[in-house]
Amino acid sequence: MSDDTNDDTVDEKSIKYVLRLFITGTTPRSEEAIRNIKKICEQELKGRYELEIIDIYQQPELAKKEQILAAPTLIRKLPLPLRKLVGDMSDKERVIIGLELIHEKKKDGKM
């Protein structure tokens, strides 16, 4: 039996992110938030994320359940702990910090 691997270590590149973006219809702000978060996810989490876009006008029960008070709101469901970001997601650095991708980037030496 070999004990070369440490079961406590998690390869951050293997972590899958489950995100929900709550928007209000097809407003310019909603459309901008969708474009911005998709771009950030493709650049930073390519192949490691699931993004669900929820229109609070069409699914108000989900907005109520998640206690959404403003839109657009991005919720990181996984990995835990849950995180919420409000806004159009145009500030890439703020989104990266909010999703806690900053640790990953520092280890890679990119930030």
Domains of the chain, by residue range, sit at 15-108
Give the per-residue pLDDT at 13: 73
Domain boundaries 15-108, CATH class: alpha beta
**Residue 3 above 50 pLDDT?**
no
Instruction: Kindly report, residue by residue over 33-63, the tens digit of the pLDDT.
Output: 999 999 999 999 999 999 999 999 999 999 9
21 closest CA partner among 80, 77, 64, 100: 77
**Residue 26 above 70 pLDDT?**
yes
- Residues 52 and 18: their CA atoms lie apart, in Å, by 8
Using alpha carbons only, give the angle 23, 25, 30 rounded to the nearest 5 degrees.
50
